[in-house]
Amino acid sequence: MKRSVANIIREYGPFPNVEAIHGVTYDGQRIWFGVGQQLNALDPGNGQPVRSLNVVADAGTAFDGQYLYQISGDHIQKVDPHDGNIIATIPTPSAENSGLAWGEGSLWVGQYRNRKIHQIDPETGEVLRTLESNRCVTGVTWNGTELWHGTWENDESELRHVNPDTGEVLETIEMPSGTGVSGLESDGNGQFFCGGGGSGKLRTVRRS
């Protein structure tokens, strides 16, 4: 298994009136991040806020190329990023949801204390596959053909590349002590955007 130490190349925030980052996704131009009662977007080039939607955003965030998906309590809301309208709502697999990603035509839901990742049908919420982890899951993302998730326990946090069929850990990127991951997204070009939990920051990690 390959191991490396995170190369944090940029930090954004903390942002005004933001107590914590709950979910992160990327639409190719903007980083979207959930902050409780809103879903905010910023330009990663200059770090400036560009959009804000009034959507309850208390856990994972994902983007399928057209719509945003946002965990809000025990539901996942499909959101039009242009006006914030809710297009559809499906149930989450269970409580303790912490991360959300779009990949292989499915949604992937990370669960914190349950230490699981569920692949679910984006139309019905039906669980199609479940992967087990030995660490608390704090974010999920697909990097092209690779499934990654974040972990955070005590002051230790990692980005993990796992086999999407078995959950076997194939590669880890260790975050600095005290730097947790709350929400994870790939830009598809070797960089990860990581929510920083209660620090209120977003961080960009470059894969070595």
Q: Is residue 14 reached through a cis peptide bond, with omega within 30 degrees of 0 on the bond before it?
A: yes
Residue type, 112: Y
For the four alpha carbons of 159, 148, 120 and 65, in that order, the dihedral sign comes to: positive
Q: How far apart are CA 195 and CA 199, in angstroms?
A: 9
Contact by Cβ (8 Å): 141, 155 = no
> For residues 133 and 140, is the Cβ–Cβ distance under 8 A?
no
pLDDT digits (tens, 9 = 90+) for 86-132: 999 999 998 889 999 999 999 999 999 999 999 999 999 999 999 99
Contact predicate 179/203, CB 8 Å: yes
Q: What is the pLDDT of residues 9-34, one digit of tens each?
A: 999 999 999 999 999 999 999 999 99
Average pLDDT over residues 35-63: 96
For residues 95 and 89, give the distance between their C-alpha atoms in angstroms, rounded to a whole number: 16
pLDDT of residue 208: 79
Q: Tokens 């984006």 — which residue?
A: 122
Tokens matching residue 193: 């955007």
Could you tell me the domains of the chain? 2-206 (2.130.10.10)
